[in-house]
Amino acid sequence: MSHLVEIRNLKVEATTDAGRRVDIIKGVDFDIAEGEIVALIGESGSGKTTIALTLLGYTRTGCRIAGGSIRVAGRDMARLTEKERTRVRGSEVAYVPQSAAAAFNPAQRIMDQVIEITRIHDLMPRAAAEAKAVELFRALSLPSPETIGTRYPHQVSGGQLQRLSAAMALIGDPKLVIFDEPTTALDVTTQIEVLRAFKSVMRQSRMAGVYVSHDLAVVAQIADRIVVLKGGEVQEIGTTSEILSAPKHPYTRELLAAFSPPGRVAAQAAAESDAARPVLELEAVSAGYGKPGADGTPLILAVDKVSFRLERGRNLGIIGESGCGKSTLARTIAGIIPPASGQIYFDGKPVAPHARDRSPDELRRLQIVFQSADTALNPAKSIEDILGRPLAFYHGLRGAARDARIDRLLDLVHLPRALKHRLPAELSGGQKQRVNLARALAADPDLILCDEITSALDTVVAAAIIELLKDLQRELGLSYVFISHDLHTVQAICDEVAVMYRGEKVEQLPAGDVGSAAGHPYSRLLMSSVPKLDPTWLDRLERDPELVAAFAKR
């Protein structure tokens, strides 16, 4: 008995709504030594969170541990009664949730929730617990550690909540802490602070940890060993440097390859022949939400005097952190949110601010693809109907001609034709995003606005979508405005990149030059904050404190 955690032949099965039983974890084995941090990595549906939760003896509704053993400090969590498990939870094994914003009870003060574990397990008197919490707040470099506990969850930022949730887990001095994608919902500049705080606290306390993530670069910074999972099975286990430098399993290699997609070969040829005609031009466009004030500016200005030119056949990337106005910009260009001031030119001609005042042809030539295919596709319509509607609307296609065009569209996005009779819910996430794209292509557009279309997808699937976008551009001569918070994705497809900060475009530069020393300080901060596969990156990273103070949301 040398390891803190020994998982042997773990099997978890889920019961579907139809009553069918499906194995979601198919015999997993691994160990965690005292003080060691092990990362579970894999795409969505690989079972990484399910495995992590079994360490607490917990499974989500509809799932159950079907076999095997999960020994934590000598006790088999699978064999314990529910009552014995509740005694272990929080005191010996603690959990840091994926979305701290959702995991904090909105009706309770933060302090009450952070020290709740000590109350439940009767670990120490209230005053001692509060003192310890304040100490943890300080260790996690939270602002005003003395008073932050008296606030309610909605009164602090997302990055702060994520660190507070770590304090909540560490308060009971557990032997093992489970981090469930704790930085996935954060912006990169915030993620660094949180990762650093986690790392230093874990190092000091010598606790063991399980770090669940889909992001290899993040995991590389914090984990000692990595377990690569796919479809509920272990693909490869190795130390962090082994996995990163000498991956053995093909799937691990695929993951690593997807992380650094091939850069874009600039579409110079196309651009030069047609350079005189910008497909899209924005002149000092402002837009926002709320009632316009006396001078016509909206109450909350989300886009502030943004100008750019996009030539035919070229792609513009727009990057920035959440709340910088990049999605509002896409909606403004599409005419969903009319600009408060400024002018949009499409193909050299000014277009009406509001989509309803634009001609059908203008609407047809400018299409938008939304982030979440789940909500953008009507769940009650078959794929055929979803693709058929723009064909009938823009091109008046009916009957056999329409069917033939639907088949071609499915071919274009590399989906089997047989899928057209299915409903969106019967497709995978990547397939839905392809249908979402095909729907925009149905209009036969000149320009497609892609609003974070790969954000909800797994790395490997997202890389495939990017490849598809490139193919389509080659075949159909499209232009893209590609909006994303992920620099790698943007660099993979765009010729130029515009960086947005608080509604303003701070700079625009060729994709290859992004991250170079030149340029706006905010862009430099943003680029330097993107995690790299190098395990020493976080420790070596030195950020200009003035830059951080000026731009990073803490």
Partner 1 sequence: MNTHLLSLLGGRLLVALFTLFVVSFVVFGATQILPGDVAEVLLGQAATPEAVAGLRSAMHLDDPAILRFFYWLGGLATGDLGTSYANNMPIAQLIGGRLKSSLQLAAATALFSVPIALALGITSAMLRGTLYDRAVTTATITVISVPEFMVATAGVLIFAVWLKWLPSLSIARNVDSFGELIRIYAMPVFTLSFVISAQMIRMTRAAVVEALNTPYVEMARLKGASRTRIVLRHALPNALGPIVNAVALSLSYLLGGVIIVETIFNYPGIAKLMVDAVSTRDLPLIQSCAMIFCFVYLLLITTADIIAILSNPKLR
Choose which of 44, 69, 99, 341 interacts with partner 1 (CB under 8 A): 99
Instruction: Name the minimum Å distance from CB 488 to partner 1.
Output: 29
Q: How far is the CB of 53 from partner 1 (least distance, A)?
A: 8
Q: What is the nearest approach in angstroms of partner 1 to the Cβ of residue 299?
A: 17
Residue closer to partner 1 (CB basis): 57 or 232: 57
Residue 104 sits in the site that holds partner 1 (CB under 8 A): yes
Sheet holding 21-32, edge to edge: 21-32, 5-15, 63-72, 75-76
Among the listed ranges 34-42, 95-103, 216-224, 379-387, the one in contact with partner 1 (CB under 8 A) is 95-103
| 3-state SS, residue 120 | helix
With CB under 8 A as the contact rule, which of the stretches 72-80, 92-100, 299-307, 431-439 interacts with partner 1? 92-100
Tokens of 434: 């392809």
* Cβ atoms within 10 Å, residue 504: 18
Say how many C-beta atoms besides its own lie within 10 A of residue 178's C-beta: 24
Task: Dump the DSSP string for 410-445.
Answer: HHHTT--GGGGGS-GGGS-HHHHHHHHHHHHHHT--
Q: Which of 86, 157, 297, 455 binds partner 1 (CB under 8 A)?
A: 86
Q: Which residue, 83 or 349, is less far from partner 1 as judged by CB? A: 83
Q: Does 89 bind partner 1 (CB under 8 A)?
A: yes
Shortest distance (Å) from residue 173 CB to partner 1: 14
Q: How far is the CB of 69 from partner 1 (least distance, A)?
A: 20
Show Cβ contacts of residue 491 under 8 Å, excluding neighbours closer than 6 positions. Answer: 263, 264, 317, 497, 511, 512, 514
Of the pair 108, 273, the CB lying nearest partner 1 is at 108
CA neighbor of 175 nearest in space, from 69, 58, 34, 80: 34
Q: Which listed range, 89-97, 217-225, 272-280, 469-477, lies at the site for partner 1 (CB under 8 A)?
A: 89-97
Stretch of 94-102, 198-206, 285-293, 385-393 lying at the interface with partner 1 (CB under 8 A):
94-102
Tell which one of 1, 16, 19, 154 touches partner 1 (CB under 8 A). 154
Contact between residue 408 and residue 475 where contact means Cβ atoms under 8 Å apart: no
Please state, in angstroms and rounded to a whole number, the distance separating the CA atoms of residues 535 and 546: 25
Q: In Å, how far are 73, 287, 341, 357 from 363, measured between CA atoms?
A: 63, 20, 20, 10
Residue 116 lies near partner 1 (rule: CB under 8 A): yes
Residues in the interface with partner 1 (CB under 8 A) total 28
Q: Least Å distance between CB 130 and partner 1?
A: 17
Contact (CB, 8 A) for 434 and 415: yes
Residue 105 makes contact with partner 1 by CB under 8 A: yes
Asked whether position 62 contacts partner 1 by CB under 8 A, the answer is: no
Q: Is 184 an interacting residue with respect to partner 1 (CB under 8 A)?
A: no
126 is a contact residue toward partner 1 (CB under 8 A): no
DSSP tally for the chain: helices H, then strands E: 23, 20
Phi, psi of 121 (to 5 degrees): -95, 5
Interface region with partner 1, contact rule CB under 8 A, candidates 5-13, 115-123, 367-375, 397-405: 115-123
Q: Which of 331, 233, 336, 332 is nearest to 283 (CA)?
A: 332
Is residue 90 a contact residue for partner 1 (CB under 8 A)? Answer: yes
Q: Counting contacts by CB under 8 A, is residue 88 touching partner 1? A: yes
Give residues with Cβ within 8 angstroms of 280, minimum separation 6.
309, 310, 333, 344, 345, 346, 347, 366, 447, 479, 481
Answer for which of 7, 32, 51, 56 binds partner 1 (CB under 8 A) is: 56
To partner 1, the closest distance from the beta carbon of 178 in angstroms equals 9
Question: Using CA atoms, how far apart are residues 254 and 244, in angstroms rounded to an integer?
Answer: 12
**With respect to partner 1, which residue has the nearer C-beta, 93 or 303?**
93
The amino acid occupying position 532 is: K
Residue 355 beta carbon to partner 1: minimum distance, rounded to whole angstroms: 33
Would you tell me which residues interact with partner 1 (CB under 8 A)? Answer: 53, 56, 58, 60, 86-91, 94-95, 97, 99, 102-108, 116-117, 120-121, 152, 154, 168
